[in-house]
Amino acid sequence: MRNVPISKPSTPAAAAKPCMRLLMSALALLLCLTAIACRKTSPQQGAGMSMPPLEVSAVKVVPRDLPLVLDYLGQTEGSRVIEVRARVEGVLQKMDFVEGKQVRAGEPLFKIDPKPFETALENARAQYAQEEARLENARRNLARLKPLAEQNAVSQKDLDDALAAETTAAAALRSARAKITDAEINLGYTAIRAPISGIVSRALKNEGSLVTPGPEGLLTTVSQLEPMYVNFSISEGEMIRYWDEAKKGTLRFPPGGNFEVELKFSDGSSWPLKGRINFSSPFYNKETGTMSARAVVGNRDNKMLPGLYVRVLLKGAVRPGALLVPQRAVMQGQKGKFVFVVAADGKAEMRNVEVGDWSGDSWTVASGLKPGEVVVVDGAMKIQNGMQVKAVVATAGK
């Protein structure tokens, strides 16, 4: 009987050795491939290491005198607005005008029943005739007594009474004359006429109404429309700012404050006639914090009516040596508005700026820029502070 060798069972460590060798071979192959890939740099990656500067459009800031237009909201008003009132008491007999139409000075508007006033005038004239007769009689008596008094034929008292009677009669005659004048004036007031030429408003009393002088006697108004007034207001803060800028020399007003006034309507159209300021209040309104002003403009053919809201443009002020940058060059950051300035070495520098008024599609820069500096206009969103850029430069405001 042969001895058959019996094999020993394999251990776990022995079984794992072939697996470890395979794993190590795979890792070595992966490292080799990675090294080869790293040595083979793509053309795009190589170009990224030496990209040219970003090209941006920019403007060169050049100081220039900038006309400043002050813009306010105003309302038109007749240059003269006259209230037509009853000056005597009576019954309104007739209305002689078309409401809302043009009237000329002296044209009849209303008629108050004149009969009571005609009667009063006749009474005054009759009273005058009586007083005139009394004065004539007193003068005749005095003329008779004077020669007798010289001959001592009458007493001094009789002469004094005659002199007093003549003086009293003369005074009474003057009073009667005044009553005639008063009655004639009152009779004239029964015909109510247009005090000025203009547009007459609606009638506030109807025919047959009893009208009286005083607050209740308003019948209508007449507005003179040539020339036309335009009222507007300037805020206290704005006036203080303008005065401060004028002191600093950053704002120059026209000589004597002679602004040219232009009016614009809600549809954007302009009134063809220019105007001027003819009044500015020396006081502020404590309730509104504004100072009132008024412009006067021509109104040919009365085409512009009272009560119309218009834009009042005041021209003539100038900002000397103003710096302008396009609106799209100015960006908003956490610390306020800023721009990118291209330095002499071609690097972009973030610069905080303080802007002022609008001028077309540009800002005026109050601080933060110097004349001659180059400001990025287009492409600013793509650059960062200190980044190298290539600026294509134009001149601001040209």
91, 206: one domain:
yes
pLDDT in tens, 53-68: 888 989 999 999 999 9
16 assigned to some structural domain: no
Letter for the amino acid at 250? T
231, 263: one domain:
yes
133, 167, 184 — which closes off a domain?
A: 184
pLDDT of residue 366: 86
218, 234: one domain:
no
pLDDT of residue 270: 94
Are 81 and 195 spatial neighbours (Cβ–Cβ below 8 Å)?
Answer: no
Based on C-alpha coordinates, what's the Rg of the chain?
50
Are 169 and 135 spatial neighbours (Cβ–Cβ below 8 Å)?
Answer: yes
CB under 8 A, 24+ apart: contacts of 156-165: 162/138, 165/138, 165/141
Of 37-51, 118-132, 299-313, 320-334, which one has max mean pLDDT? 118-132
User: CB-side exposure of 274: number of CA atoms within 13 Å?
Assistant: 8
**398 versus 391: which is more confidently predicted?**
391
104, 121: one domain:
no
**To which H or E segment does residue 176 belong?**
helix 156-189
pLDDT of residue 145: 87
Are 236 and 255 spatial neighbours (Cβ–Cβ below 8 Å)?
Answer: no
pLDDT in tens, 122-141: 999 999 999 999 999 999 99
| CA 103 from centre of chain | 30
Rounded to whole angstroms, how far apart are CA atoms 243 and 233?
A: 16
202, 269: one domain:
no
3 assigned to some structural domain: no
Please report, for the domain that includes residue 376, its CATH number: 2.40.420.20
166, 179: one domain:
yes
368, 258: one domain:
no
Please report, for the domain that includes residue 139, its CATH number: 1.10.287.470
Number of independent structural domains in the chain: 4
Domain hosting residue 238, numbered range: 68-77+226-320
Rounded to whole angstroms, how far apart are CA atoms 147 and 153?
A: 9
Closest CA to 232 of 175, 278, 172: 278
Are 296 and 79 spatial neighbours (Cβ–Cβ below 8 Å)?
Answer: yes
Please report, for the domain that includes residue 197, its CATH number: 2.40.50.100
Peptide bond into 227 cis (omega under 30): yes
Q: Which residues are bridge partners to 107 per DSSP? A: none
pLDDT in tens, 289-320: 999 999 999 998 788 889 999 999 999 999 99
199, 223, 247 — which closes off a domain?
A: 223
Neighbouring CB atoms inside 10 A of 171's CB total 12
Letter for the amino acid at 179? K
219, 230: one domain:
no
258, 376: one domain:
no
253, 306: one domain:
yes
213 assigned to some structural domain: yes
Q: Is residue 221's pLDDT more than 70?
A: yes
Rounded to whole angstroms, how far apart are CA atoms 98 and 115?
A: 25
**To which H or E segment does residue 396 belong?**
none
* Dihedral sign for Cα atoms in the order 18, 20, 25, 29: positive
Letter for the amino acid at 320? P
305, 320, 335 — which closes off a domain?
A: 320
Backbone angles phi, psi at 212, to 5 degrees: -135, 155
179, 215: one domain:
no
pTM recorded for the entire structure: 0.67
Rounded mean pLDDT of the chain?
Answer: 86
- What does the block give as tokens for 337? 């508005």
Rounded to whole angstroms, how far apart are CA atoms 253 and 314?
A: 11
pLDDT in tens, 82-115: 999 999 999 999 999 999 999 999 999 999 999 9
